[in-house]
Structure 1
């Protein structure tokens, strides 16, 4: 039995060879695309259906997108806090400047 690696689109076989994308010509899966080792087909070499790999890739990207969105919201909050701090600093400097002019 051929082996499957982690989630998503496989780039390399465990043997170190690059993967290739082929189309099944079997009666069970006619026209279905799959990734396999670019050198050897068989045990200890990669085999993965392309449709499953793409779904996994999209799921992984959705998780990354969610993480990035959360990080962006945290940065926005930090920027708002900095703007408030800058406003307070400007007000203090203006008050001190007014006091020094008197």
Structure 2
């Protein structure tokens, strides 16, 4: 079964996932996510270390996007401040003529 990236919260069957620790010879002590109801081929199984790396990578992409958005917002704010300064100057000029 193909899972999306990151930490699986739910199994395709709808059950919440649980975190368990492997007791096998091949992976002793290694943590994994599994369907909280059924263990089997059509249910979630994912190693926790791999899921965490995927989660961090996804968060890194989101953070970079948010940083770019923040830069754009700051640039717009500078433009707005310039516009407000110009409006204040125009209003002050008109008020001296009235």
What TM-score, normalized to structure 2? 0.95
Listed one character per residue, the Cα deviations across residues 33-92 of structure 1 (whole Å, up to 9, x for unaligned) are: 000111111111110000000000111111111111111111111110000001111111
Match of 1:31 in 2: 29
46 and 4 in structure 1: CA distance in 2 versus 1, 3 angstrom threshold: farther
Residue equivalent to 2:4:
6
Structure 1 distance, partners of 2:8, 2:68, is 28
Structure 2 residue ranges without an equivalent (≥5): none
- Equivalent position of 2:66 in the other structure: 68
Cα distance in 2 between the residues matched to 1:31 and 1:48: 14
Name segments (4+ residues, structure 1) moved above 3 Å.
none
CA RMSD of aligned residues (A): 0.9
Shift of the 4–21 alpha-carbon distance from structure 1 to 2, 3 Å rule, reads: farther
Task: Please report the TM-score for the alignment, with normalisation by the length of structure 1.
Answer: 0.91
The question of whether the paired residues in 2 share the 8 Å contact of 1:23 and 1:31 is answered with yes
Larger Rg: 1
